[in-house]
C-alpha cells in the first residue's frame, strides 16, 4: 500500500474552519448580498487537494449530539471523522505543554488572562504545531499572514530573550510561489461523490508524490516545486470540471542544528529539552516541514465574498439615506 501523506489540523484551525464556513452560509448575508451558498464539505476537500494529502491528522474528535450544535458542525465533524487519523491526546498535550512551559517561564503569572498578550496565541499555536509535525511526519495548515502580524505585535510584549529565538525560527521559513489546484466551492452532491475517486487516480497520486519530494531535505527544493507545478496542471486538465488552478505560496521550514541552537539553546535546559528532542528527530529523518496557507481560502470565502460586499452595501445605503435627507 502506498504511504499516506497527512496534514495536521490543529484545534484552532478546525475552530476557524467551522466558524468561517458557517458564517459564510448565514441566511442574513446570503439574502442581503444575494450570493449563492457554498458547500462547506467542498472547502474541506480543497484542503486535501491543495496540499496533496489523502488524510487529515488531528486530535480526538468528539461526537456532536443534541440541538446545541449546528448542522454545519455535524457535517464537518462527520467528514473529519471519515478522513482523519486520530493522534493520541497525550502526544498533543506533550507538545502543547513543552511550549507553554517556555512562555510561562518568561511571562507573568496568569498572562493568558491579560488581553495584552492575545497576539502570542498564534505564535504559540505555530510552535506547538511545528513540534507535532516534527513528531508525526505531517505537514501543517495555518494562516501564514496571521503569523507575520502576530510576530510584529509580539515584539512589543515579549521579553527580548524570548522574542529573538522565536523571530529567528519564523524568519527561517522560506516561501515559494507555485500554481496549486483548488476546488469549486459550489460543488453539488454528485461532484462530491466524484471527488472521492480523485484521490485514487494516478494524476492525484503523482501530485501527492511531488509533495512528498518537498517533504524530504534529500531532494533539491526547486526540483520538487517544479514537479508540483507540473502535476498540479495535469490534475487540473484531468478534472477541469472539479478543479481550478490558482497561484499559491508554499512555505517550508528546514530545521538545522543552527536553528535548534538559536531557538532553544538560550532557554533553560529543563524547559526546552522536550522541544529540542522532538525537533532533533526531524533532522535525523531528513525532513522539511511544509506549511500550507489557509489565508487565501479564508480571504476568499470571508473577506471577498462577504465582508467587502457588505461594507460596500452599507456605504451605499448610508449615501442613499443622506440623499433622501437632503431632499
Q: What's the rounded Cα separation, in Å, for the pair 298 and 160?
A: 32
Residues 6+ apart with CB under 8 A from 116: 157
Asked whether residue 215 is domain-assigned, the answer is no
Alpha-carbon distance of 319 to 324, in angstroms, equals: 9
pLDDT-derived band of residue 67, with 50, 70 and 90 as boundaries? very low
User: Is residue 16 included in any domain, yes or no?
Assistant: yes
pLDDT tens, position by position, 98-154: 888 888 888 888 888 888 888 888 888 888 888 888 878 889 988 888 888 888 888
Domain presence at residue 178? yes
The whole-number average pLDDT for the span 91-102 is: 83
Give the 3-state secondary structure of residue 142.
strand
pLDDT at 265: 60
Cell representation of residue 277: 528532542
pLDDT-based confidence at 69, cuts 50/70/90? very low
Say which residue, 304 or 191, is predicted with more confidence: 304
CB of 237 closer than 8 Å to CB of 183: no
pLDDT for residue 254 is more than 70: yes
Tell me the residue range of the domain where 86 lies.
Answer: 6-182+248-312
In the structure, what pLDDT confidence band is assigned to residue 66 with cuts at 50, 70 and 90? very low
Q: Which residues contact 157 (CB under 8 A, 6 or more apart)?
A: 116, 117, 119, 120
Q: For residue 68, what pLDDT is reported?
A: 43
Asked whether residue 321 is assigned to any structural domain, the reply reads no
Of 150-164, 264-278, 282-296, the poorest mean pLDDT is in 264-278
Q: Structurally, how many domains does the chain consist of? A: 1
CB 1: neighbour CB atoms within 10 A?
A: 3
In whole angstroms, give the CA distance from residue 230 to residue 220.
16
For residue 80, count other CB atoms closer than 10 A to its CB: 17
pTM of the predicted protein model: 0.82
Amino acid at each position: 500500500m502506498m504511504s499516506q501523506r497527512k496534514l495536521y489540523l490543529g484545534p484552532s484551525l478546525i475552530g476557524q474552519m467551522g466558524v468561517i464556513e458557517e458564517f459564510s452560509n448565514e441566511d442574513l448575508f446570503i439574502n442581503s448580498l444575494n450570493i449563492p451558498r457554498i458547500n462547506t464539505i467542498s472547502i474541506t476537500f480543497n484542503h486535501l487537494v491543495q496540499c496533496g494529502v489523502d488524510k487529515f491528522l488531528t486530535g480526538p474528535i468528539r461526537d456532536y449530539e443534541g440541538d446545541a450544535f449546528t448542522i454545519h458542525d455535524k457535517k464537518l465533524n462527520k467528514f473529519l471523522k471519515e478522513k482523519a487519523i486520530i493522534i493520541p491526546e497525550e502526544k498533543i498535550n506533550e507538545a502543547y505543554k513543552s511550549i507553554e512551559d517556555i512562555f510561562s517561564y518568561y511571562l507573568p503569572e496568569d498572562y493568558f488572562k491579560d488581553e495584552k498578550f492575545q497576539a502570542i496565541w498564534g505564535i504559540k499555536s505555530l510552535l506547538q504545531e511545528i513540534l507535532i509535525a516534527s513528531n508525526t511526519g505531517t505537514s501543517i495548515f495555518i494562516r501564514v499572514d496571521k503569523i507575520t502580524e502576530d510576530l510584529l505585535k509580539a515584539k512589543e510584549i515579549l521579553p527580548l530573550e524570548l522574542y529573538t529565538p522565536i523571530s529567528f525560527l519564523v524568519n527561517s521559513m522560506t516561501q515559494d510561489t507555485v500554481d496549486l489546484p483548488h476546488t469549486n466551492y459550489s460543488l453539488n452532491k454528485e461532484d462530491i461523490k466524484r471527488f472521492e475517486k480523485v484521490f485514487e487516480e494516478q494524476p492525484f497520486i503523482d501530485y501527492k508524490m511531488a509533495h512528498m519530494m518537498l517533504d524530504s531535505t534529500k531532494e533539491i527544493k526547486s526540483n520538487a516545486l517544479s514537479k508540483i507545478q507540473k502535476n498540479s496542471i495535469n490534475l487540473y486538465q484531468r478534472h477541469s470540471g472539479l478543479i481550478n488552478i490558482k497561484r499559491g505560496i508554499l512555505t517550508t521550514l528546514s530545521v538545522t542544528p543552527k536553528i535548534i541552537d538559536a531557538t532553544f539553546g538560550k532557554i533553560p535546559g529543563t524547559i526546552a529539552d522536550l522541544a529540542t528532542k522532538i525537533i532533533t528527530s526531524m533532522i535525523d529523518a531528513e525532513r522539511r516541514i511544509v506549511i500550507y496557507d489557509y489565508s487565501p481560502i479564508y480571504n476568499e470565502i470571508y473577506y471577498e465574498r462577504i465582508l467587502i460586499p457588505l461594507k460596500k452595501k452599507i456605504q451605499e445605503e448610508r449615501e442613499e439615506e443622506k440623499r433622501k435627507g437632503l431632499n
